[in-house]
């Protein structure tokens, strides 16, 4: 009944104050003790020192109920029309208010964000799986979107969370980062295991295949787009070159690694560079390639 009443209040607010920049509802919850950093994993944990299940459990405790509320700005593409506020808040626990402008939802405020084994959920429509943040830059940002909760946890390209308490925001950001390393490690291991067959076949070839004219076209175009810093398009063209023949141009993996690093996608960069070294362990630039891997590990690509 309480959930129905909260949903009804949100909808009534939408229709009554559609022209207003924001809209609020009341939310009654039992008092909770203030956040204490030393009681959470962010106070002592370091990458690799705790398992993902423990981090998810502690993150869930941090976000289970925040008396001052947390504001949420969803960064993935979605229909943010405020006329859909009922659908956008469906499944949310303890919603408090929402803000909108020119008919578009700016952010939601609520007291509870749900953390499960596979995802973080604001509502049925606004959620993300942990794998979606694998290569995101995560930290406390200066991109304030709610002046009442100015401490923003930025999960690049996925979501922003605004908190009133800066220490709480820092703790949440650190725990999201703790979850990234095992995800990155698993992704790399799976990709490299699949690629091992390609590497074995290439290294067993007595004569290496030559670049075809069709493949050369893709490579030249990819190089040109890289110079223009159109990295996504360049990467797609290198992939096309490899589809033509996965054995005739190992340097595509080296180039794709550099492109991924330029985009801040360090996990992908490390994976591509390791593929290059699997094909060309004795290459003249093998030392440089391995040093790049070390560099990208320090920048967040995992090991």
Q: Are residues 233 and 170 in the same domain?
A: no
Q: Are residues 98 and 240 in the same domain?
A: no
Domain boundary among 118, 145, 180: 180
Indicate whether 276 belongs to any domain: yes
Strand order in the sheet with 119-121: 114-115, 119-121, 127-129
Q: What is the pLDDT of residue 109?
A: 98
CA distance 266 to 257: 8
Q: What is the pLDDT of residue 11?
A: 45
Q: Are residues 59 and 117 in the same domain?
A: yes
CA distance 27 to 48: 38
Q: How does pLDDT run along the chain (303 residues), one tens digit per residue?
A: 444 444 545 544 443 333 345 555 444 455 567 899 999 999 988 777 788 999 999 999 999 999 999 999 999 999 999 999 999 999 999 999 999 999 999 999 999 999 999 999 999 999 999 989 987 889 999 889 999 999 999 999 999 999 999 999 999 999 999 998 888 788 888 899 999 999 999 999 999 999 999 999 999 999 999 999 999 999 999 999 999 999 999 999 999 999 999 988 888 899 999 999 999 999 999 999 999 999 998 886 655
Indicate whether 241 belongs to any domain: yes
Domain boundary among 164, 180, 196: 180
Residue with tokens 């502690």, as numbered in its chain: 58
Q: Are residues 115 and 261 in the same domain?
A: no
Indicate whether 197 belongs to any domain: no
Per the CB < 8 A criterion, the answer to whether 47 and 178 are in contact is yes
Q: What is the pLDDT of residue 23?
A: 59
Per the CB < 8 A criterion, the answer to whether 67 and 111 are in contact is yes
If you ran DSSP here, which 8-state letter would residue 81 be given? B
Indicate whether 193 belongs to any domain: no
Indicate whether 190 belongs to any domain: no
Q: Please enumerate in sequence order all residues whose Cβ is within 8 A of that of 195, keeping only pairs 6 or more positions apart, or say none.
A: 275, 278
Q: Are residues 28 and 176 in the same domain?
A: yes
Burial per residue of 270-302, b for 16 or more beta-carbon CB atoms within 10 angstroms, e otherwise: bbbbbbbbbbbeeeeeeeebeebbeebeeebbb
If you ran DSSP here, which 8-state letter would residue 134 be given? T
Q: What is the pLDDT of residue 46?
A: 79
Q: What is the pLDDT of residue 30?
A: 52
Q: Are residues 174 and 103 in the same domain?
A: yes
Indicate whether 70 belongs to any domain: yes
CA distance 111 to 270: 39
Closest CA to 261 of 234, 221, 224: 234
Looking at the structure of the chain, the number of domains it has is 2
CATH code where residue 276 lies: 1.25.40.10
Strands 127-129 and 119-121: antiparallel
Q: Are residues 154 and 234 in the same domain?
A: no
If you ran DSSP here, which 8-state letter would residue 298 be given? I
CA distance 202 to 209: 9
Per the CB < 8 A criterion, the answer to whether 7 and 92 are in contact is no
Indicate whether 165 belongs to any domain: yes
DSSP result, 94-107: SEEEEEEETTEEEE
pTM: 0.69
Q: Please enumerate in sequence order all residues whose Cβ is within 8 A of that of 201, keeping only pairs 6 or more positions apart, or say none.
A: 247
CA distance 175 to 183: 13
Indicate whether 94 belongs to any domain: yes
Q: Are residues 12 and 102 in the same domain?
A: yes
Q: Are residues 102 and 155 in the same domain?
A: yes
Residue 215 sits in which domain range?
Answer: 205-301
């Amino acid at each position: 009944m309480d959930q129905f009443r909260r949903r009804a209040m949100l909808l009534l607010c939408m229709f009554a104050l559609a022209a207003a920049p924001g809209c609020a509802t009341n939310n009654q919850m039992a008092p909770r003790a203030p956040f204490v950093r030393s009681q959470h994993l962010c106070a002592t944990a370091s990458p690799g020192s705790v398992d993902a299940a423990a981090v998810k459990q502690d993150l869930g405790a941090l976000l289970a109920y925040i008396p001052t509320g947390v504001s949420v700005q969803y960064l993935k593409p979605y229909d943010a029309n405020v006329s859909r506020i009922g659908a956008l808040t469906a499944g949310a626990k303890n919603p408090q208010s929402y803000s909108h402008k020119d008919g578009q939802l700016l952010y939601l405020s609520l007291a509870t964000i749900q953390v499960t084994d596979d995802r973080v959920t604001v509502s049925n429509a606004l959620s993300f799986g942990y794998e979606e943040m694998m290569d995101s830059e995560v930290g406390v940002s200066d991109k304030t979107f709610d002046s009442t909760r100015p401490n923003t946890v930025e999960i690049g390209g996925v979501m922003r969370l605004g908190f009133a308490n800066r220490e709480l925001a820092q703790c949440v950001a650190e725990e999201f980062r703790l979850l990234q390393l095992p995800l990155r490690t698993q992704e790399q291991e799976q990709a490299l295991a699949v690629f091992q067959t390609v590497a074995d076949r290439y290294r067993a070839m007595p004569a290496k295949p030559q670049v075809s004219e069709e493949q050369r076209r893709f490579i030249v175009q990819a190089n040109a787009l890289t110079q223009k810093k159109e990295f996504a398009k360049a990467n797609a063209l290198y992939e096309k070159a490899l589809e033509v023949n996965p054995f005739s141009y190992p340097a595509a993996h080296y180039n794709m690694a550099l492109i991924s690093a330029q985009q801040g996608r360090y996990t992908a960069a490390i994976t591509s560079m390791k593929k290059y070294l699997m094909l060309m362990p004795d290459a003249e630039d093998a030392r440089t390639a391995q040093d790049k891997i070390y560099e990208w590990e320090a920048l967040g690509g995992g090991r």
